[in-house]
């Protein structure tokens, strides 16, 4: 029977690494790396790194994160963004599996502001999808940047209780182009996830 209901999600499971993030450890090549950088991309190059923890505070070694973001001018490398040509060869997508200590990292550029549906600017942000064993569907969150004045007026952050906004805000390390943000799937300081 054909119906047009969507195909349900199932967990990515514990054994996705050789297929999705082999990183030279299996006889399979990576479609994606943890970097969005291309030689001709403009914008500030930054590293975003952190760890992922479960509800017991134990590091999660088998989670995959994917990011999707605009270029430094706030434009997406997708023809559905009609505003302007994208930035050189920048694609805006990357994928990273956590290591045995739950660490992830992305090398990317800081995105520009993107309009909300009313045309109001959103503060620079990166979309994140979190996949893992024990997660029957991936979760969506966002990464904001601690040194952006626009955070205070961001319409999506405004939906989040003030005491939980830090779970979405990567903190810039002094003197370095490095931001840190840990993700907590459950419990104290649980990361904010969005129903999109």
Partner 1 sequence: MTFIYPTDSNKAHPLPLSPEYKSSIKRAPNKPLIPMRHTLSELTGPVYGQETVREGDNDLTRQHSGEPLGERIIVHGHVRDEDGRGVPNSLVEIWQANSCGRYVHVRDQHPAPLDPNFTGAGRTVSDAAGYYRFVSIKPGAYPWGNHHNAWRPAHIHLSVFGHSFVTRLVTQMYFPNDPLFPFDPIFNSVPDEKARARMVSSFDLENTQPEWALCYRFDIVLRGKNATPMENH
Window 30-59: residues binding partner 1 (CB under 8 A): 31, 54-56, 58
The CB-of-176 to partner 1 minimum distance in angstroms stands at: 26
147 touches partner 1 by CB under 8 A: no
14 touches partner 1 by CB under 8 A: yes
Within residues 56-85, the interface with partner 1 by CB under 8 A covers 56, 58, 60, 66, 68-70, 76-81
Residue 104: how many other CB atoms lie within 10 Å: 24
Nearer to partner 1, 164 or 173 (CB): 164
Q: Which of the 8 DSSP states describes residue 19?
A: H
Number of residues that bind partner 1 (CB under 8 A): 76
The CB-of-104 to partner 1 minimum distance in angstroms stands at: 16
CA distance 76 to 86: 6
Q: Which of 8, 24, 39, 175 binds partner 1 (CB under 8 A)?
A: 8
Nearest 5°: CA angle at 119, between 80 and 42? 60
> Which region, judged by CB under 8 A, interacts with partner 1, from 101-109, 136-144, 145-153, 171-179?
136-144
The CB-of-195 to partner 1 minimum distance in angstroms stands at: 4
CB-based contacts of 152: which residues, under 8 Å, 6+ apart? none
Would you state the structure tokens that stand for residue 73, as one six-digit string? 């001018």
CA distance 22 to 15: 11
Binding mask 99-128 for partner 1 (x = CB under 8 A): ---------------xxxx----x--x-x-
CA distance 141 to 168: 8
Nearer to partner 1, 42 or 186 (CB): 186
Within residues 156-195, the interface with partner 1 by CB under 8 A covers 156, 159-160, 185-187, 190-195
Q: What SS3 state is found at 64?
A: strand
CA distance 112 to 56: 36
CA distance 184 to 124: 22
């Amino acid at each position: 029977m054909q119906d047009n209901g969507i195909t349900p999600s199932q967990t990515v499971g514990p054994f996705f690494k050789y297929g999705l993030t082999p990183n030279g450890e299996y006889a399979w090549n990576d479609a994606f790396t943890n970097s969005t950088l291309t030689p001709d991309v403009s914008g500030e190059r930054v590293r975003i790194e952190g760890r992922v923890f479960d509800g017991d505070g134990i590091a999660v070694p088998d989670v995959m994160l994917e990011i999707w973001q605009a270029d430094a001018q706030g434009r997406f490398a997708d023809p559905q963004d009609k505003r302007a040509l994208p930035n050189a060869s920048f694609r805006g997508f990357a994928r990273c599996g956590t290591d045995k200590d739950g660490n992830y990292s992305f090398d990317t550029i800081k995105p520009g502001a993107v309009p909300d549906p009313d045309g109001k600017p959103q503060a620079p942000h990166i979309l994140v999808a979190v996949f893992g064993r024990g997660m029957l569907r991936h979760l969506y969150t966002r990464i904001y940047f601690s040194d952006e004045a626009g955070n205070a007026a961001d319409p999506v952050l405004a939906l989040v209780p003030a005491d939980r906004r830090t779970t979405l805000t990567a903190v810039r390390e002094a003197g370095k182009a490095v931001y840190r943000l840990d993700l907590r799937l459950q419990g104290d300081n649980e990361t904010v996830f969005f129903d999109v």
